[in-house]
Amino acid sequence: MKSNRRAARIAVVALCIALLGGCKKELYGSLTEQDANEMLVALLEQGVSASKTSPDGGKNWTLDVDDAQVVRAMEVLRSRGLPHSKFNDLGELFKKDGLVSTPTEERVRFVYGISQELSSTLSKIDGVLVARVQIVLPNNDPLAQEIKPSSAAVFIKYRPDADINTLIPQIKTLVMHSVEGLTYDHVSVTTVAADPVELSKTPPPASNPWWMVVLGAALAALLAGAGFAAYRFGAKRGANSGAPSLQGWLDAFAGRFRPARKEP
């Protein structure tokens, strides 16, 4: 009786929720709009059904993909080095927070900030997956006879299809002019090609997987049965004032599952 009615209502609601919300899964959240756009383009180019949404009016972005394509989406993004690493800039490192820093702390913070700025700049080169810059600024004694030179080490991991080695002279020049007292010969650049990512050879599934089609057909059959039951229910009661309410439809449909009463 009441339990049958409740079960019918729950079944209808569950099927509706599955159809509306079961096809997408959040892959990344708290993204900038630029990162979300780059990731979306990379996925769409490889046939991955994806979309971006913002839960807070454009401050942060979320990337959603089909449940059946999560693995392929991760492979595509990994091959592109997405999302990009986040770097600090000098403005963030030297915010006035009311605390007085020592000269040593200021120096360490400055060197770290320059390294972050250069790493961020190099990571924007097409084909670069990872870029890191380590800077050494020796604290030379003004009275010392021998002055230790500054030095910098650059590490770059790039996509196998990118020709980064031809850019090494430009990279060394960029780093040299960004650090005071640094010479061209004291900048070392190490480049490493990333392992090729084998993308799935299977064609991407359609936007509506087979289980969605089956689920939709089941829901359509369920609603058709409910409509037919409601029609018979209204005809028996002589209802001529239009279609019955949703409650009446569900109650009528649930009545189809009631066990038949045996006459005494």
pLDDT value for 263: 56
* Residue 3 shares a structural domain with residue 79: yes
> By three-state DSSP, how is residue 259 classified?
coil
| DSSP secondary structure, 209-234, as one string | -HHHHHHHHHHHHHHHHHHHHHHHHH
* Residue 25 shares a structural domain with residue 69: yes
Q: Residue 50 pLDDT more than 80?
A: yes
* Residue 185 shares a structural domain with residue 244: no
pLDDT band at 11 (very low <50, low <70, confident <90, very high): low
* Residue 109 shares a structural domain with residue 186: yes
* Residue 79 shares a structural domain with residue 120: no
Question: Residue 204, preceding bond cis, omega within 30 degrees?
Answer: no
> Shortest CA distance to 36 belongs to which of 53, 15, 14?
53
Q: How far apart are CA 165 and CA 171, in angstroms?
A: 10
Q: Residue 6 pLDDT more than 70?
A: no
Summarised one tens digit per residue, pLDDT across range 75-130 is 999 988 899 888 887 767 667 666 777 888 888 889 999 999 999 999 999 999 99
* Residue 14 shares a structural domain with residue 108: no
Q: Which residue has the tokens 């994806």?
A: 50
The reply to whether 76 falls in a domain is yes
The length of the chain in residues reads: 264
Answer with the one of 158, 193, 228 that is the final residue of a domain: 193
The reply to whether 2 falls in a domain is yes
The reply to whether 200 falls in a domain is no
The reply to whether 198 falls in a domain is no
pLDDT value for 2: 47
* Residue 117 shares a structural domain with residue 68: no
The reply to whether 69 falls in a domain is yes
* Residue 7 shares a structural domain with residue 73: yes
* Residue 264 shares a structural domain with residue 186: no
Domain containing 248 equals 1-84+211-264
* Residue 65 shares a structural domain with residue 94: no
Q: Looking at the 3D structure of the chain, how many domains does it have?
A: 2
Q: Where residue 119 sits, what CATH number does that domain have?
A: 3.30.300.30
> Shortest CA distance to 150 belongs to which of 115, 101, 103?
115
pLDDT band at 1 (very low <50, low <70, confident <90, very high): very low
* Residue 179 shares a structural domain with residue 113: yes
Q: How far apart are CA 117 and CA 49, in angstroms?
A: 34
> By three-state DSSP, how is residue 187 classified?
strand
Q: Residue 71 pLDDT more than 80?
A: yes
* Helix H or strand E encompassing 77: helix 70-80
pLDDT value for 153: 98
Q: Is there a contact between 123 and 171 (Cβ–Cβ < 8 Å)?
A: no
Global pTM reads 0.63
**Angle, nearest 10°, between helix axes 246-255 and 210-237?**
100
Least confident of 57-66, 137-146, 172-181: 137-146
* Residue 70 shares a structural domain with residue 94: no
Q: Is there a contact between 69 and 200 (Cβ–Cβ < 8 Å)?
A: no
Summarised one tens digit per residue, pLDDT across range 183-237 is 999 999 999 999 887 765 554 544 455 555 566 666 666 666 666 565 565 555 5
Summarised one tens digit per residue, pLDDT across range 118-165 is 999 999 999 999 999 999 998 877 776 788 889 999 999 999 999 999
Answer with the one of 164, 193, 222 that is the final residue of a domain: 193
The reply to whether 205 falls in a domain is no
Q: How far apart are CA 194 and CA 157, in angstroms?
A: 6
Q: Where residue 78 sits, what CATH number does that domain have?
A: 3.30.70.1530
The reply to whether 204 falls in a domain is no
The reply to whether 65 falls in a domain is yes
